[in-house]
Structure 1
Amino acid sequence: MAKIDIRREHGKSIAEARAVVDKVAERMAEKFGTKGAWQGDAYAFSGSGVKGAITVSDHDVHVGAELGMLLSAFKGKIEEEIRGKLDQYFA
């Protein structure tokens, strides 16, 4: 299994950062069929071939995920898309 581990600093409040993660989670559900829920300050998600969490603190966002065998081949592309979304929403 391939692992993704990305952190991005932000200047938002935790409430604002959580609202952004909610938008991202909605898009992930539409695009990849993931399901998830908040567990404290972490949005835990899973879907076909992927499981992970997006953790929000007062200074950064941390995306951690494990990709199944099929998605492992696309790790670079997936990381690129995650980094792009983090740049878009947290820059």
Structure 2
Amino acid sequence: MAELNIVREHTLGLAKARKIAFQWAEQVEQEFAMQCNYAQGKHIDEVDFVRSGVKGSLTVTKTHFELRAQLGFLLGAFKGTIEAEIVKNLDALLAAPTPVPKKRPVPKA
């Protein structure tokens, strides 16, 4: 079996990282027919995912994402392509601008 291990450091904090992990889970469910289970914890979240030929987890903390996956025999032949696609999708989510809260106008005295 081929294994993937992808780590991405960030400075988002857990709340923002959690939002990105939810987006990632929704994306892989739609695009790759993965079944995802999201377990939210106090300091760490984990997204377990599975489909035919793939199983793994995405661990989310306030400082990093770590994705570990095992690819079955058939998908193992495409490890490089699969890894590149996961990296591209995760990096795109991390690079997306976070909405800035609108400032209220300061009343003139």
Same fold (TM over 0.5): yes
Under a length normalisation based on structure 1, what TM-score does the superposition of the two structures give?
0.91
Aligned to 1:79: 83
1:51-71 C-alpha deviation (Å, 9 max, x unpaired) = 000001111000000011111
Aligned residues: percent identity?
Answer: 42
CA distance in 1, matches of 2:92, 2:33: 22
CA deviation after TM superposition for structure 1 residue 13, in Å:
1.8
Higher relative contact order (CA 8 A, sep 6+): 1
The list of structure 1 runs, each at least 4 consecutive aligned residues, that deviate by more than 3 angstroms after superposition, is none
The Cα RMSD (Å) is 1.2
Query: Gaps spanning 5+ residues in structure 1: where?
Result: none
Larger relative helix fraction: 1
Matches within 5 A, 1:16-27: 16-27=16-27
Larger relative strand fraction: 1
Alignment: residue pair count = 91
Under a length normalisation based on structure 2, what TM-score does the superposition of the two structures give?
0.77
| Aligned mate of 1:62, from 63, 66, 76 | 66
CA distance in 2, matches of 1:43, 1:87: 17
Structure ID, larger Rg: 2
Query: Gaps spanning 5+ residues in structure 2: where?
Result: 96-109
Matches within 5 A, 1:22-61: 22-39=22-39, 40=41, 41-61=45-65
CA deviation after TM superposition for structure 1 residue 33, in Å:
1.1
